[in-house]
Structure 1
Amino acid sequence: MWKAALLFLGAAALCAATRSDDIAFKKHHLDPGAAESCAFADINGDGRPDIVSGDHWFEAPKWTRHKFRELPFQNNYIDDFSDLPLDVDSDGHIDLVTAHWFSRKVSWWKNPGKGKGVWKEGGVDTGMNTEFAFLVDMDGDGKAREILPQYGGKAITAWYEFKGGRWVRHQVAGQSHGHGIGAGDVNGDGRIDILTPKGWLEAPAPGVEGNWVHHPDWEFKEHLGFLYVHDVNGDGKTDIVSSNAHDYGLFWLERTPNGWKKQVFEDVWSQAHATALIDLNGDGRKDFISGKRFLAHDHDPGARDPLGLYWYETVPGPQGKGIYWARHIIDYGSMAGGGMQIPIADIDGDGDLDFAVAGKGGLYLFENLTRQPKAAK
């Protein structure tokens, strides 16, 4: 089992300390409408990443808005909790897989070609509240084309593949094991395991359906966001990075000879539902991007605190021992919240990474100004 530890100094980790903002971002407010999720995808096939959010897609480079579907708006939420770009039917056009909480389903929307007009909705699965989902390479073919959703309540754990013209459900467990989900090779056997707030599910050998072994190595009562498999401190051992989606805290689980040790590296803001693990500054080490979701739930701790977006740089500790997470403030005190997803893309072809967020304050694009963008043709 893991042990809780908030460290300020030490070999293992340091809690987040704010550093100078050495990456400048330009904020673009693309749409004021309330949203929850967004994604980058080349919808019209012109080679540029467009943005999808809610009922609309926004065409690069001027971010012209196109309505392509009608989603319900309920209890101050649009029923769009994850958007996953995927050419489902392999026709050369990027379609969209969407997770719906209130409609209790996962759907996919067929791109008619260049994104124009109304998209036709198809079903993936129904009957379960779906708070978020992501694409993952579950079959080991090197392509992240399978869907791993986070089902609410006492629903199942399952992943889905599009095969033979239909979506096939692969049930992993008879329960969801809590709020939060992730995927990665935990034990180093080359297979993709599934992570939950109550341990991890070991993938069976290739060709073996079912028989996923549950390892209750940790247990969180908190509602987590995504769980990432990543060697945080470079010791060659698998660690895990995650967040409290409806409370305070960003943390990682360090793999030690005595089990998993919880290391908190941020605890001053809450509702870190959306996260991204990526090398943002190009130094070869993965960084962590997150932000406070705008009114995720009515009574979450810190729900009325100011919104903020941050990235956390993994920096080697003194004498190269351990690491610490350096907090960089991207935006603070505006209406830009972290939402349900933080998609990453190089929107202008300049070689640095930009990102977008969508929340009840609208859709925002954060353009990385590290390098000069190429002139639009």
Structure 2
Amino acid sequence: MTVSRCRVLRFYDRQQSRLARLVIMGFVGVTLMCFMARLVPAQESNENKRELIRFDRIQLTDVYYSEGAHAGDLNGDGQADAVYGPYWFEGPAFQQRHELYPAKPQDVNGYADNFFSWVYDFNKDGRNDIFVVGFPGTPAYVYENPGAAGWDKPWPKHEVFDWVSNESPHFTNLVGDDTPELVCTRDGFFGYATVDPDAPLAAWKFHTISDRIAAERFGHGLGVGDVNGDGRLDVLMQSGWFEQPTDLNSPRWVLHPANFTARGGAEMYAYDVDGDGDQDVITSLAAHEFGLSWFEQVQDGDRIDFREHKIMGDRRSQNRYGVLFSELHSVNLQDIDGDGLKDIVTGKTYWSHHRQSPMWDAGPVVYWFRLVRTPNGVDWLPYEADSQAGIGRELSVLDVNNDGLLDMVVGGMRGAHVLIQKRAQVSPGDWDAAQPKPYNGPVDDERQDDQASGFGERVPGALEGEELKVARVSGGHTSNQIMASFNKGKWSNNAQLFWTGGKPGDELELVLPIKTSGRYQISAAMTKAVDYGIVTISVDGQSLGEARDLYNRPDVVSTGTVDLGQAELAVGDHKLVVKLQGANPAAVKAFMFGLDFVQLKQL
């Protein structure tokens, strides 16, 4: 992701000048109450003033065209222009828009054909082009900037890559050459696509760095960063990181397993959070559910391991300041306040799984979490940047108006918005009133999803795995397993259906009883452990989503509720089939499988 860096002016006389420029520019937006503050150096009558940050919202459109938005200078005037789906909007006012291709509003009850965009001059003609990645599993295109004479008609379109998967791809300089690479997955492989500098608009070449362990089409959680500090960028994913080799001709990068997140979040980052000199990892925990954590790097000899520190969980008591929202499907890491430490920017990807996600109808917020290092450790102070814009699957942070302050460009189901950073000098009392306050509510308040809240409790309305009828098993055997001894996770009814002895290709067929005909959302909770396999799930021959990697190290844990897909089901018994596909390279090859429960929600 291409992001501008900024230098923040600290003295009050410069701050006054900057605010004056912002007022003169006349941005139209809704001023929202979001905010952090920082002490301004003492200067005569202003020695008691403190500085608040807020963001003013400019709506580009309220129509759903894309799952992400970006910005860059497209018309050569030195000002960043915003890009959202089929349109680009001239900065800094963002009122004049131009089509890249014929605009067609997208169905908010489905998903757009445009997910991500980046601004880059591919053919080195002095004009920035637009690189677009669409729905997972579809091609990527470069829209070639035709210059002013062609801005009001469709831009030339070039297919440069045939298949982009993972819902958090990165366009960044991974291998240290002159041109950025597209880091993504393709057909189940992690890897990166390179641009031929002599033919940048021709087909790009994909380099695999893994065995076939990624989700074939979708998949969550992906990042780029120098995890081990050797000066080479590595690739992060939900259950580990791939170490970049010294020889890029190596067919596979070494995978170092790490238990970051069972379900996969969004963009992942390697960053020295605690200032101890090594690289920690930042990630959301479930793109369509809850959770945000940083993972402290700890070393045991030559071995790198990670210790989780939760920033925000699935209840208010799991954030120091009581902040709670779901669907963190995009995360950015930038120094919002200019103090030299990078802050987390994220928000709610509103309607990301429609009515399937917990708290789906809560406010479409955008937040930034200010990193603070203290003698007692690390803190992340939460500030609401906006309460109406929400985010999509791409949240961009850059200085769009050349004032030295980082702004936000967001797009998704609620259209597209630019959030302009502004600052004001306020009294100590006003500054204190705007600061996050420690949470003092219940510490065991109810979870916000439908998972069991304690051992032995049944998830209401769920079909317990251990109670489903086994119609057929092609290899190995099944049994009911009590899960009380595994204290790192929670299982409905304190039990699971346990399948052992199977091999890749074997199938477990269960009877799924339906009492009322209709269309159903099918969800399940499964178990993850060091000796569990990779499985696919189908109902009556219809595939339900991508392959599920159930490897986890070192603990036995639950996946939590996983949305599998939708199916039309008539009254009667149906075939729910689990098929073993293999195992994570780091797993003990026992190919085990555990089913906690299945949930059916009639739509």
TM > 0.5: yes
**1: CA distance between counterparts of 2:137 and 2:297?**
39
| Structure 1 contact 36–359 (Cα < 8 Å) conserved | yes
**2: CA distance between counterparts of 1:109 and 1:308?**
31
Of 78, 93, 103, the residue aligned with 1:47 is 78
Displacement of 1:30 in angstroms is 1.5
Pairing of 1:316-331 with structure 2 (within 5 A): 316-317=373-374, 320-331=375-386
Of 206, 216, 221, the residue aligned with 1:169 is 206
**2: CA distance between counterparts of 1:20 and 1:286?**
14
Displacement of 1:306 in angstroms is 1.5
Of 131, 149, 152, the residue aligned with 2:184 is 149
| Structure 1 contact 99–130 (Cα < 8 Å) conserved | no
Of 204, 226, 244, the residue aligned with 2:245 is 204
Of 354, 360, 365, the residue aligned with 2:407 is 354
> What per-residue deviation string (whole Å, max 9, x for no partner) do you get for residues 58-109 of structure 1?
0112311111114773553221111111112222211111111166122222
Displacement of 1:291 in angstroms is 0.7
> What per-residue deviation string (whole Å, max 9, x for no partner) do you get for residues 114-149 of structure 1?
4612112212222454533222212213x5611112
> What per-residue deviation string (whole Å, max 9, x for no partner) do you get for residues 334-363 of structure 1?
2x1111222122222221111111111111
From the superposition, tell whether residues 218 and 103 of structure 1 become closer, same or farther in structure 2 (CA, over 3 Å).
Answer: closer
**2: CA distance between counterparts of 1:281 and 1:20?**
8
Of 112, 119, 126, the residue aligned with 1:78 is 112
Match of 1:14 in 2: none
Q: Does 1:99 align with 2:159?
A: no
| Structure 1 contact 36–80 (Cα < 8 Å) conserved | yes
Displacement of 1:219 in angstroms is 5.2
> Which region of structure 1 is more displaced relative to structure 2, 182-191 or 21-30?
21-30
What is the letter of the counterpart of residue 195 of structure 2? F
**2: CA distance between counterparts of 1:215 and 1:278?**
26
> What per-residue deviation string (whole Å, max 9, x for no partner) do you get for residues 168-211 of structure 1?
21111233265210011111111111000021111111443423
Other structure's SS at 2:410 match: strand
What is the letter of the counterpart of residue 67 of structure 1? E
Pairing of 1:1-377 with structure 2 (within 5 A): 20=36, 22-34=52-64, 35-63=66-94, 64-70=96-102, 73=106, 75-101=109-135, 104-114=138-148, 116=151, 117-129=153-165, 131-141=167-177, 145-150=180-185, 155-163=188-196, 164-165=198-199, 166=202, 167-173=204-210, 174-176=212-214, 178-218=219-259, 220-243=261-284, 244-257=286-299, 259-267=305-313, 268-298=324-354, 299-317=356-374, 320-332=375-387, 334=388, 336-370=389-423
What is the letter of the counterpart of residue 245 of structure 1? A
**2: CA distance between counterparts of 1:279 and 1:225?**
19
Other structure's SS at 2:274 match: coil
From the superposition, tell whether residues 44 and 290 of structure 1 become closer, same or farther in structure 2 (CA, over 3 Å).
Answer: same
| Structure 1 contact 106–130 (Cα < 8 Å) conserved | no
| Structure 1 contact 181–227 (Cα < 8 Å) conserved | yes
**1: CA distance between counterparts of 2:167 and 2:309?**
26
Greater C-alpha Rg: 2
What is the letter of the counterpart of residue 380 of structure 2? W
Displacement of 1:46 in angstroms is 1.1
Match of 1:3 in 2: none
**2: CA distance between counterparts of 1:102 and 1:252?**
27
| Structure 1 contact 138–144 (Cα < 8 Å) conserved | no
From the superposition, tell whether residues 147 and 128 of structure 1 become closer, same or farther in structure 2 (CA, over 3 Å).
Answer: closer
Other structure's SS at 2:231 match: coil
| Structure 1 contact 110–120 (Cα < 8 Å) conserved | yes
> What per-residue deviation string (whole Å, max 9, x for no partner) do you get for residues 247-282 of structure 1?
111111111235211111112211111111011101
Other structure's SS at 2:291 match: strand
| Structure 1 contact 100–130 (Cα < 8 Å) conserved | no
More strand by share: 1
**2: CA distance between counterparts of 1:23 and 1:37?**
24
**2: CA distance between counterparts of 1:127 and 1:50?**
28
**2: CA distance between counterparts of 1:30 and 1:355?**
13
From the superposition, tell whether residues 19 and 55 of structure 1 become closer, same or farther in structure 2 (CA, over 3 Å).
Answer: closer
**2: CA distance between counterparts of 1:25 and 1:344?**
12
**2: CA distance between counterparts of 1:304 and 1:131?**
22
Displacement of 1:54 in angstroms is 0.6
**2: CA distance between counterparts of 1:57 and 1:69?**
10
**2: CA distance between counterparts of 1:179 and 1:242?**
11
Other structure's SS at 1:340 match: coil
**2: CA distance between counterparts of 1:41 and 1:238?**
29
What is the letter of the counterpart of residue 61 of structure 2? D
**1: CA distance between counterparts of 2:281 and 2:293?**
9
**2: CA distance between counterparts of 1:326 and 1:86?**
34
TM-score normalised over the length of structure 2: 0.55
Identity %: 30
From the superposition, tell whether residues 371 and 195 of structure 1 become closer, same or farther in structure 2 (CA, over 3 Å).
Answer: same
RMSD across aligned positions (CA): 2.2
TM-score normalised over the length of structure 1: 0.86
Displacement of 1:20 in angstroms is 4.9
| Structure 1 contact 42–50 (Cα < 8 Å) conserved | yes
Q: Which has the higher contact order (CA 8 A, sep 6+)?
A: 1
Other structure's SS at 2:418 match: strand
Match of 1:11 in 2: none
**1: CA distance between counterparts of 2:166 and 2:101?**
19
> Which region of structure 1 is more displaced relative to structure 2, 275-284 or 68-77?
68-77
| Structure 2 contact 133–164 (Cα < 8 Å) conserved | no
**2: CA distance between counterparts of 1:24 and 1:361?**
21
